[in-house]
Amino acid sequence: MQGLTIKDKAQIALMRKSGQIVEEVLHLMERMAAPGISTLALDEAAHNFIRERGAEPSFLNYRGYPASICTSINEEVVHGIPSARTLIDGDILSVDVGACLDGWHSDAARTFLIGNVSAEVERLVRVTKECFYKGLQYAYEGFRVGDISFAIQEHAEVNGYGVVRELVGHGIGRSMHEQPDVPNFGTKGHGLRLIAGMTIAIEPMINMGSAAVSVLSDGWTVIASDRKPSAHYENTIAITKGAPLLLTKSPDAVSRGGGS
């Protein structure tokens, strides 16, 4: 993993360009993800979309990963490899996408509801997204990584969910993974202090049941050990002198930590 790097405004603007491609890919995946489609078809569409926009899929061949996106179904937490498996009614699908444009990476993930999903699974997906925004409230200069981590953990556990420990968010820029690690669990006031120019991916991975995970024989797919559903929500953001910039999503209002 590359060390911590600080970006200037021009470099963050370049990351926003790759981030816009990631955002558009996720919108495409949301439109396509339906009962009967294979995850391999989704991967092919995402790959072509990224290339058509002059970028490269960040994940393809990264440490040997064989596809352009990660497609994780139901109990699969992350790093599911696209295949001929087709989605069925009631599934949830987590899609993780990275794009590199002019040497700058951005990374984001969403969990999509496929057809008629149970109310309890839909709640898991909603709370996982909320966890991201709880963490984002602390993505301001002067706070610490642990403030983000604690906010995510607290919201997940108050809702009765398990927070995956083995996989974390990360710095990002010219490399897909840079310092610092951004765990989804932690202690307020601990960890690296945030400063303007840092770019990080915040990515809650939340299990309906236990936090425990294991890896399948393909060496990539991480699953919830109790086989209960898992959800994933991620955006690349930039720390600024003011509100954090969402680089992989159109801006939303963000409240400073401690606010409403």
Cβ neighbours, 10 Å, residue 241? 9
Q: Please tell me the distance from the alpha carbon of residue 33 to that of residue 95, in angstroms, as a whole number.
A: 10
Q: Is residue 92 part of a domain?
A: yes
Cβ neighbours, 10 Å, residue 84? 8
105-131 in b/e form (b: 16+ CB < 10 A) is bbbbbbbbbbeebeeebebbbebbbbb
What predicted TM-score, i.e. pTM, was given to this entire model? 0.95
Q: Is residue 54 part of a domain?
A: yes
pLDDT of residue 256: 41
Residue type, 184: N
Residues 6 or more apart whose Cβ sits within 8 Å of residue 81: 65, 66, 67, 70, 71, 218, 220, 221
pLDDT of residue 255: 38
Which residues constitute the domain of residue 194? 9-246
Token representation of residue 250: 């159109």
Looking at the structure of the chain, the number of domains it has is 1
CATH code of the domain covering residue 164: 3.90.230.10
Q: Is residue 147 part of a domain?
A: yes
Q: Is the dihedral of CA 184, 85, 98, 61 positive or negative?
A: positive
Q: Please tell me the distance from the alpha carbon of residue 168 to that of residue 145, in angstroms, as a whole number.
A: 12
Question: How much is the CA Rg of the chain, to the nearest whole Å?
Answer: 17
Q: Is residue 1 part of a domain?
A: no
Q: Is residue 86 part of a domain?
A: yes
Q: Is residue 201 part of a domain?
A: yes
pLDDT of residue 253: 40
pLDDT of residue 258: 38
Q: What is the mean pLDDT of each run of 10 residues along the chain (260 residues)?
A: 91 98 98 98 98 98 98 98 98 98 98 98 98 98 98 98 98 97 98 98 98 98 98 98 95 42
Q: Is residue 258 part of a domain?
A: no
Q: Is residue 108 part of a domain?
A: yes
